Homo-oligomer: A and B are copies of this chain.
């Protein structure tokens, strides 16, 4: 395989091509891959609770099948809650990775005390399953409850402050639990500030896909 094509499923509905391709751009900057970036319909605030997760799952599976028909060698569900992961695997025969389980898995391999930084006060299910007792804390920036609310000056500053709390709780790894954080460039800021390992979900999922493809 020369240059793998990753089908990127965005769970935040948008008609803005710049926003749509934000995660694909990160992947192409870091890895020798091409991406096809598409979003599920009718979820302008993404996946941020049980109802939006449930609604997203069949749409994710349908979009995964479409991406594979259009040439994707693998599919990445770019959401920390992995909506539709099992459903997508059931309908395509290429590797499918969820950003949440990829992040949690790599955090487990990279340290023993994991701080979860996302948009909720509870870790998403893939993090609970993979990390269990290794989670030393879960924090969300104050005033942020949906991914779209991260993109304000308060959201960005609050995310950085939230990392302080996790380090104070003893974290040797910080696992992002929202792919919206990727677009803030926050991971390197936290590495520089605290000297801890930071696992970004988009990058984690991209590396997992490349490992799966032997690339």
Interface residues of A (CB under 8 A from B): 30, 93, 95, 97-98, 101-102, 104-106, 108-110, 130, 187-188, 191, 195, 197-200, 203-204, 207-208, 210-212, 214-215
Residues of A contacting B: mostly? helix
Residues of B within 8 A of A109 (CB): 97-98, 101-102, 104-106, 130, 208
Residues of B within 8 A of A208 (CB): 106, 109-110, 207
Contact A203 B211 (CB under 8 A): yes
Contact B93 A108 (CB under 8 A): no
Residues of B within 8 A of A105 (CB): 105-106, 108-109, 130
Residues of B within 8 A of A102 (CB): 106, 109
| CB contact between A204 and one of B95, B104, B211 (< 8 Å): that residue | B211
Residues of B within 8 A of A207 (CB): 207-208, 210-211
Contact A211 B106 (CB under 8 A): yes
Q: Which residue of B lies closest to A207 (CB)?
A: B207
Known: A93-B195, A95-B197, A105-B105. A110 touches B214 (CB 8 A): no
| CB contact between A212 and one of B101, B106, B130, B214 (< 8 Å): that residue | B106
Residues of B within 8 A of A104 (CB): 109
| CB contact between A211 and one of B97, B188, B200, B215 (< 8 Å): that residue | B200
Contact B211 A199 (CB under 8 A): yes
Q: How far does the alpha carbon of A16 sit from the alpha carbon of B172 in the complex, in Å?
A: 37
Would you give the shortest CB distance from A126 to chain B, in whole angstroms?
Answer: 8
Q: List 17 A-B contacts (CB under 8 A).
A: A93-B195, A95-B110, A98-B109, A101-B108, A101-B109, A102-B109, A105-B108, A105-B130, A106-B208, A106-B212, A108-B130, A109-B130, A110-B208, A188-B214, A197-B212, A198-B212, A203-B211
Q: How far does the alpha carbon of A181 sit from the alpha carbon of B188 in the complex, in Å?
A: 34
6 A-B pairs besides A110-B212, A197-B212 with CB distance below 8 A are A30-B210, A93-B195, A97-B109, A105-B105, A187-B214, A198-B214
